[in-house]
Each structure stands twice: as C-alpha cells, then as structure tokens.
Amino acid sequence: TRRFKDMSRLYGDKGFSLPEDCTLVLNSKNPVIAALATGEDDEQAKLIASQVYDLAELSRAPLEPEQMTAFLKRSMKLCELATQK
C-alpha cells in the first residue's frame, strides 16, 4: 500500500487512492505481547501497547509530528519505569 501511494505521489496523484485500513499482526509468543495478552488494564500496559503500535507504524512509514512527540515522551516514560525496578 505504501509503495502504491509513493508511486501515486511521484506521478502526480491522479485520483488514485487506496483504503487506509491496516492490520497489525502480533507474535503471541513474544514475551511483551504475551504479557499484554493477560488482560491487565493498567497504565503501564496501555503505555506498552501504544509503544508497540507506534513501533509497527514506524516500520511502515514515518510518524506524523504529533505522533512522534507522543512516541518520544512515552519512550522516556518507559525508560523511567524500567530504571525504577
């Protein structure tokens, strides 16, 4: 999808558009994803889930400026949590 959009922009975007639907596929054997799957709905789990989603988005395309700002703030918060243990 991203390549088609890039090509469309390159050739003048003549009305060609693709749907914005994306599917996030997670590896349930990954320890982080397995821990999130336990269903705990605390603030730390929400931070980690948002971080995983943004990492997936980053692998697909650059984040929008406000998304990048939130990602960086969340990264620092997770680093702080990791050093408190």
Query: Please, what is the end-to-end C-alpha distance for the chain in angstroms?
Result: 41
CB contact set of 27 (below 8 Å; sequence gap of 6+): 33
Whether the CB-CB separation of 2 and 61 falls below 8 Å is answered with: yes
d(CA 39, CA 33): 11
Is the pTM higher than 0.85?
no
pLDDT tens digits, residue range 41-53?
788 899 999 999 9
Residue 24 pLDDT exceeds 70: yes
Helices (H) and strands (E) in the chain, counts: 4, 0
Residue in this structure with the two tokens 């990602």, named with its chain if needed: 71
